[in-house]
Amino acid sequence: MNSKKKVSIAVVRRLPRYYRYLSDLLELDITRISSKELSARMGITASQIRQDLNCFGGFGQQGYGYNVESLFNEIGNILGLNNKFQMIIIGAGHMGQALANYSNFEKRGYKLVGIFDVDPGLIGKKIKNIEIEHYDKLEEFVKHHRVDVAILSVPYDRTRMVADKVASLGIKGLWNFSPMDLKIPYDVVIENVHLSDSLMVLGYRLNEKFKCKKNK
């Protein structure tokens, strides 16, 4: 197993999908799968799958397929799902609260440790046993707790200011839900979530699928 090898970011971005599909297979008690079968399920070419999974070596055998459980575990390791990242949410509006209530974080290697907002109506409210604190207390909080990742779910025009603050406090990861494609001149890893990207793809696929019918 060659999990220490550097894997390209394009491959890494496909790993969560492999991970989800392999998890489904495990639930169906499927222990081996060929790249061809996986291809049919996932809608990725078999050749792409072989190329991607070759990055990890040792799982595929010609004519025999992949060992589902080993591959699942290895991809989980590579994605670092056994991490113990500590995470805070900044901005406890609807999106922030939806994320705070999201139950999958632990399975992904993250633990929610704090929630911050500026709205007096929200301060003191508890979500999953975590009390929403005022944003002014963030600096103090970070002095006493290790914080690896901050989720930004603040209004568009506050995003940059909050991101700068977070970076200046030494927080190393940002999961950004603002529609702003955030780039900041700090040593910080940022994942920007673009919800409307998949909405645009949905529109394209609807047009492709139904345009013939429309034109009838």
Interface with its own copies includes 40 (CB under 8 A)?
no
Least distance (Å) from its own copies to the CB of residue 191? 4
Interface with its own copies includes 182 (CB under 8 A)?
no
The rounded distance, in Å, linking the Cα atoms of 199 and 206 is 11
Q: Which two tokens stand for residue 155?
A: 């209004």
The rounded distance, in Å, linking the Cα atoms of 53 and 35 is 9
Interface with its own copies includes 212 (CB under 8 A)?
no
Number of H helices, E strands in the chain: 8, 10
Out of 1, 40, 161, 201, name the contact with its own copies by CB under 8 A: 201
Interface with its own copies includes 24 (CB under 8 A)?
yes
Please give the helix or strand (H or E) that residue 23 lies within, else none: helix 9-27
Out of 204, 212, 215, 216, name the contact with its own copies by CB under 8 A: 204
Stretch that binds its own copies, among 32-40, 60-68, 113-121, 194-202 (CB under 8 A): 194-202
Interface with its own copies includes 58 (CB under 8 A)?
no
Q: What letter represents residue 55's amino acid?
A: C
Residue among 71, 83, 79 at smallest CA distance from 30:
71
Least distance (Å) from its own copies to the CB of residue 204? 5
Q: Around 64, how many Cα atoms within 13 Å sit in the side-chain half-sphere?
A: 6
> Is residue 39 helix, strand or coil?
helix
Tell me, by CB under 8 A, how many residues bind its own copies.
Answer: 57
Out of 132, 149, 163, 166, name the contact with its own copies by CB under 8 A: 149
Whichever of 126 and 140 has its CB closer to its own copies, that residue is: 126
- Please answer whether residues 17 and 42 qualify as being in contact, where contact means their C-beta atoms are separated by less than 8 angstroms: yes
Whichever of 6 and 143 has its CB closer to its own copies, that residue is: 6
Dihedral, CA of residue 184, residue 187, residue 191 and residue 196, to nearest 10:
10
- Please answer whether residues 88 and 152 qualify as being in contact, where contact means their C-beta atoms are separated by less than 8 angstroms: no
Least distance (Å) from its own copies to the CB of residue 36? 18
The rounded distance, in Å, linking the Cα atoms of 34 and 46 is 9
Whichever of 3 and 61 has its CB closer to its own copies, that residue is: 3
Residues that bind its own copies (CB under 8 A): 6, 9, 12-13, 15-17, 19-20, 24, 43, 78-81, 83, 85, 93-95, 97-99, 101-102, 104-105, 108-110, 148-149, 172-173, 175, 179, 181, 189, 191, 193-210
